[in-house]
Every structure is written in C-alpha cells, then in structure tokens.
Amino acid sequence: MGDITLTMNGAAISGREGMTILEVARENGIDIPTLCYLKELTPIGACRLCVVEVEGSRMLVGSCHTPIAPGMVIQTHSPKVLEVRRVLIELMMASHPDSCIVCEAANCCELRMRATDLEVGLPRFRTRLRYFPLEDENSNIIRDMSKCILCRRCVTACYNTEGKKMFSLAYRGFESKVIYDLDKPVGSDETCRDCDTCISLCPTGALRQPIKFGQRKKGPVLYVKG
Amino acid sequence: MPQAKIVLKNCGIIDPKDINTYRTKDGFKALDKARGMTAAGVINEIKTSGLRGRGGAGFPCGVKWEGARNSPGDEKYVICNADEGEVGTFKDRYIIQNDPFSLVEGLAIAGYTVGARQGYIYLRAEYSYLLGLLRGAIDQAQEAGYLDGFNIAIRLGAGAYICGEESALMESIEGKRGESRYRPPFPTVAGLWQKPTTINNVETLMNVAQIVLNGGGWYAQMGTERSKGTKVFSVSGDVARPGVYEMVLGSPLRELVEGLAGAKDIKMIQIGGATGRIIPYDMIDTPLAFESYLGAGAITVYNKSRDVLDIVGRTMEFLAEESCGKCTPCRQGMEWMVEVLGRFHRGEGLARDIGYMEVLADTMALSSLCGLGQAAPFAVVDTLKYFRSDYEKGISGK
C-alpha cells in the first residue's frame, strides 16, 4: 500500500515514493491533461499543460515531473490552473495552421481534443505562423513541421524506445524546430525505418504515414463543443 | 551607510596578474583558515552571515552548500557562474579583471566545503579576453600549492543568455543544447552530470573569503534584516557617471542613482536587467534589498526623453530572441508579446490586447519552466501598471 499521503482536490490520497503527481492523480481517477508526457519515459516537461497548484509554491508546478512529497496539498482543476491551461492551448494554437478541416489527423488530434476538453474559445494570441515546406519524399513518413507544437515526443521516443537519434532540436526561441539530420528534409533514401513510433505518438498532424489509396481518415468524428 | 568595499576591496589595489600582491592583502588566508575548520563549521559561518546568492534569485548560500554537502555521492562539483548575461550588468567582468584571485579562493573554499574535487568557471563567450587572466590566476594559485586536491577548469559559453540560468549552464558544460531543466531535482541533489552540484555567482564567491576570514557575525552586521552585506551595482543608461558601485544592502536607490551616478530628469529605472522590474521616478526612495528590488544589480536609468514602449519592446525582442524554446509559455508567449508591442509602438494597437497582455503575463509567470520565462513579462506588467497611458496612446485611432 501507499506510504506517502497527500491531499488532492480536498481528498486524502496516498501514493508510493518516487511517483509523480500526475501518476498519483491518474491512479486515483483524476484526469490531468498532458501533451508532451509519455508514460514510462523520462518526463520532458516542455508543454506545461499538466501544471497544478501546490500549496506553498509561488509558481504552478508541472505534475508530470514533480515527485510527490508527504503532506502536499494539490489542486488539479482550480480556476487559476484551468485558465493557465487554456492560455497554454491558445499559445500552442497561436502559430498552428488553421487547416484542421483538411488535416488527416484532425479526428485524432490530441491538441484539438485537449482544446475541446478545456473549452478553449477563439484564439486570443495569434502570432505569425511557422511555415515549413512539406517533407513527403520518404515512403514511410511525411513531416509537416508547420503543424509541430514542439512537444518533443518524437525526439524522446525515437531515442528511448528505438535507440536512435533521428530527431533533435535546433534554433532557439520561436524559431526552435525539431530537425532531422542537420536540418534537412526527410528524403527518400534515409535510414529511418518504418517503425512508426514517432508517427503514432505525434499529438498533431506534423508526423504521419503516407496515405494509401482507399484508406479512410482515422478516429471517430470529433464534435467541437460550444 | 552608503558605499562600502567588501567585494571590491582589492580592485585597483592588487595586480591581477601577480599572486604575490594578492598575498600581501590577506590573500588565501581564508582558504587556509577554512581548511583548518570542518565543512560544517564553514557552512555555519556562511549561514550566520546571511549571504544570499548575488546572481538575482537570492537563494541563501549556506543552505545551498549544506544541501550539496549532505547529498549522497562520491563525486560532487562546484561551479562559478561567470556567464554575466543580464542586460546592463558588468560587475563580474570588473571583478574578474581586477581581482581574479579572490574568485579562485572563494571557489576553492566552496569546493572544500561541499566536498568537490572539481570546480568549473563558466565564462561567457563575450569575456573570452579575460580567459588568459583567469587561467593565469588559477595556474599561479596551483603552483603556490593552494589548490591541492582541487582542480579548476574554465568552460567558455557560446553566446546564449539562457546559459546563465543554472540548469541550462550545466547542460552547456555537459556539451548539450543550452536548455533549462525542470526542478526538482535541484542541482544540489542532481546537477552537473546528475551529481550534487553547487552553482554560485562570481560576486557570491567573492564574499566567501571575507566571511570566512572575518566571521559570519561581522558580515551580518551590514544590511537589512533579510539582505545582509553589500552588493555591487552596475549603473548604466542616462547617468553622468556610469560604472560599478558597491553599496551596503538597504541603501536607498536615490543615493546610488542621483548621488553617486549623477542622473537627472529620470523617467524610470529598470532594476535587474531585461528580466528585472521597472519603477517610475516616484519610487526612487525604495531601498535596494532582496525585500524590494535587486536582481543581479543592474540599474539602467532612463530619462524623460525615452519612450516607454520602445524600451519595453526592445527588452521583449531581446528575451524572445534568447528564449531557449523549450516550454510553450515562454516560446510562444514572447513572440506574441513582441508582435503586440510592435503594434502599440506603431499606433496600431487594439484596446483588448492590453487585457490579453495581462492574462498572458500571468500565465508565463506561473507556468514557465525557468526564471527566464517567469520573469520575462515583468517589464510589460510594470509599465502597464505605472505607464498605462503610454499604451493607451498606442491604441489604433487614438
């Protein structure tokens, strides 16, 4: 049984040492939204969507990488936290192209699902779009970096589960980009195999498989609230 | 109590190229004294002194050292953060230029106390011309036998502001992309190469030798309740006498800016560089201490001829450029801030964007991964508070 007791949303719950706030919350049926988090892998901590309020902390803390401590008092869905999460989603959408209607990932797009869950309205923080040409020469993977929200799942997964380093990060600030090789498009004769790890993990339509003739769009139809 | 010289005691007096001149000024006596004490004794002395980190965050130095000392591990590191990247600071450069030996001594004391055999000085790339001087100081101390069992290596940065942030600095030393890490684990538990590490600013380490030599009680006499000792300020901007000034903490800002630096017609003062706070002239009697405003001690004075939106816009442009791009609020938020401030500057602003700026500033401060993103919106928040009319003038159609 658990050996660390803490309070989450007013209820006393317990977890084992070494667990993160997110793991304890999920074990107890509290859903904290995440984007960059990958179960079992080293936390990334880049998207910040999983932030929660911890009593005594000036900032909100990322629940996917913060270990639990005895006596923690945590609010996972306070108005403050929800507002921050909404702004974060809006920021991710800020430079994301408005092409959901023709995007193949639209019905299984995690970014869109999180936005729907949080009832994000019209984006307030539009910025210039990040435009990159479509990389569709490879027979296993199509990359559209315009849609990338830099969650780094592909980078982490490729390294940790496949033991490869196909992707890495380059440039800084708003210009940051997940790059392939020394920032060249994924070509037709690359060593990248058809393991599909990164494609299945991409929360947006930035990475996808080349669509085959007669193949349908994936996922159930997504109804947008509001 | 205005000026006092603790950190800058030897500056201009000793020859920075010659260890013997430093020896005549009680040089390395503190290191000998520290080695005669137990590590717990040194930590106790530092704790009594109330010395807080001089890099901006103001974390108690003694607590940091104790944390690293008590962390399990056979290999530990001490780092001196000489990546003085904050806009408008040049105190560390002045210190290294004039008294590199005190820094070496401070780092050696830190190494002894924490139990580290390896120390690093992370020097920013722009200061590469100080490399020879600093290396000379280390070599001379080594030859004189002061650094037995302790090795100091210098690492050069590559020109990134973010690498002045402690975790990004460690990533950089490890040879990786300079990006901040999430905390916990804190560096005192898992820092450089995941080993217990203490990382201190140049100025913090400059205080250490003095504290060990004269006792923590002596040091704690100076300053206010929660800010002990002195602080070196870099004063720049619209002042008659820009430069480095050392003052006892708690001294009024007016004395420094108007008295020592000779500023006139002040409109506002930015304390702490790009991520610092902006205060209007009315608040010039604020004491300089961790309780009020301090940061890394950069004081940039703007006179009445300056345009608020221009200054804030350029500050934001700088921070947007220097954001590492890891976390969403900082990467995306800064870009939006820059675009919106540009619109206000051109007189094309939208009234609703003022409210949005406040919302975004809140989110950035609450959810960013490191100090850069958390403190980045300060310039906007403060000018919205004190100079709101300037923003309103930038609204389209007004």
pLDDT tens-place string over residues B109-129 = 999 999 999 999 999 999 999
CB contact under 8 A, B331 and A87: no
Residue pair B372/B180 in contact by the 8 Å Cβ criterion: yes
Edge-to-edge strands of the sheet including B118-123? B151-156, B118-123, B77-82, B197-201
Nearest by CB to B325, from A45, A66, A172: name it: A172
B77 and B215 fall within a common domain: yes
Select from B371, B361, B383 the least CA-distant residue to A84.
B361
Output the CA–CA distances (angstroms, integers) from residue B321 to B159, B290, B331, B334, in the order listed.
Answer: 12, 28, 9, 9
Triad A56, A58, A64: Cα angle to 5°: 85
CB atoms within 10 A of CB B9: 18
Residue pair B63/B186 in contact by the 8 Å Cβ criterion: no
B255 and B318 fall within a common domain: no
Edge-to-edge strands of the sheet including A51-54? A11-15, A4-8, A73-75, A51-54, A61-62
pLDDT tens per residue across span A57-112: 989 999 999 999 999 999 999 999 999 999 999 999 998 998 888 888 888 889 98
CA–CA distance, A162 with A156 (Å, rounded to integer) = 10
What residues in A contact B365, CB-CB < 8 Å? Answer: 59
Residue A109 to chain B, least CA–CA distance (Å): 18
CB contact under 8 A, A149 and B374: no
CA–CA distance, B364 with B338 (Å, rounded to integer) = 14
Nearest by CB to A169, from B177, B328, B365: name it: B177
CB contact under 8 A, B325 and A66: no
CATH number assigned to the domain with residue range A86-208, chosen from the 4 options 3.40.50.150, 3.30.70.20, 3.90.1150.10, 3.40.605.10: 3.30.70.20
Give me B244's structure tokens.
């480095």
Mutate which: B322, B364, B367, B368, vs A, most A CBs within 10 A: B367
What residues in A contact B363, CB-CB < 8 Å? Answer: 83-84, 87-88, 91
pLDDT at B291: 86
Q: What is the mean pLDDT of chain B?
A: 92
Range of the domain at B342: 308-393
pLDDT at A91: 94
What residues in A contact B328, CB-CB < 8 Å? Answer: 46-49, 88, 91-92, 149-150
Triad B66, B275, B341: Cα angle to 5°: 160
HSE at residue A124, side-chain half, CA atoms within 13 A, is: 20
Evaluate whether residue B3 is within a structural domain.
no
pLDDT tens per residue across span A104-163: 888 888 998 999 899 987 889 999 998 899 988 888 888 999 999 999 999 999 888 888
CB contact under 8 A, B363 and A88: yes
CB contact under 8 A, A125 and B332: yes
Side chain identity at residue A201, one-letter code:
L
Name the closest residue on chain B to residue A61, using Cα atoms.
Answer: B367
CB contact under 8 A, B359 and A83: yes
Average pLDDT over residues A25-33: 93
CATH number given to A4-77: 3.10.20.740
pLDDT at A217: 62
Residue A129 to chain B, least CA–CA distance (Å): 11
Name the phi and psi angles at B223, rounded to 5: 95, -170
CB atoms within 10 A of CB B44: 15
CA–CA distance, A46 with A192 (Å, rounded to integer) = 25
B238 and B164 fall within a common domain: no
Nearest by CB to B374, from A45, A59, A80: name it: A59
Residue pair B97/B23 in contact by the 8 Å Cβ criterion: no
Higher-confidence position of B369 and A188? B369
Evaluate whether residue B84 is within a structural domain.
yes
**In total, how many domains does chain B have?**
3
CB atoms within 10 A of CB B128: 12
CATH number at residue B269: 3.10.20.600
CA–CA distance, B356 with B8 (Å, rounded to integer) = 45
Domain ranges across chain A: 4-77, 86-208
CB contact under 8 A, B182 and A45: yes
B69 and B155 fall within a common domain: yes
B371 and B246 fall within a common domain: no
CB contact under 8 A, A176 and B326: yes
pLDDT tens per residue across span A151-172: 999 999 988 888 888 899 999 9
B291 and B314 fall within a common domain: no
pLDDT at A226: 45
Mutate which: A125, A129, A151, vs B, most B CBs within 10 A: A125
pLDDT tens per residue across span B221-266: 998 888 999 999 999 999 999 999 999 999 999 999 999 999 899 9
CA–CA distance, B396 with B349 (Å, rounded to integer) = 5
Read out DSSP for A109-122?
Answer: -HHHHHHHHTT--S
> Residues of chain B whose pLDDT is less than 50?
1
What residues in B contact A168, CB-CB < 8 Å? Answer: 177
Supply the pTM of this predicted model. 0.91
B205 and B313 fall within a common domain: no
CA–CA distance, B168 with B185 (Å, rounded to integer) = 14
CATH number at residue B383: 1.20.1440.230
Residue pair B271/B283 in contact by the 8 Å Cβ criterion: no
B89 and B165 fall within a common domain: yes
Side chain identity at residue A53, one-letter code:
E
Give the list of residues 6+ apart from residue B326 with CB closer than 8 angstroms, or none.
Answer: A45, A46, A150, A176, B179, B180, B369
Triad A194, A198, A199: Cα angle to 5°: 75
B239 and B369 fall within a common domain: no
Q: Is the pLDDT of residue A1 over 80?
A: no
Give the list of residues 6+ apart from residue B18 with CB closer than 8 angstroms, or none.
Answer: B140
Q: In this structure, what DSSP letter does residue B176 have?
A: S
B273 and B326 fall within a common domain: no
Residues β-bridged to residue B198: B78
User: What is the number of CB-based contacts under 8 A between chain A and chain B?
Assistant: 116
Give the list of residues 6+ apart from residue A64 with CB closer than 8 angstroms, or none.
Answer: A20, A21, A22, A34, A36, A37, A43, A44, A45, A50
B69 and B174 fall within a common domain: yes
B261 and B360 fall within a common domain: no
CA–CA distance, B95 with B232 (Å, rounded to integer) = 10
pLDDT at A221: 64
Last residue of a domain, one of B164, B186, B220: B220
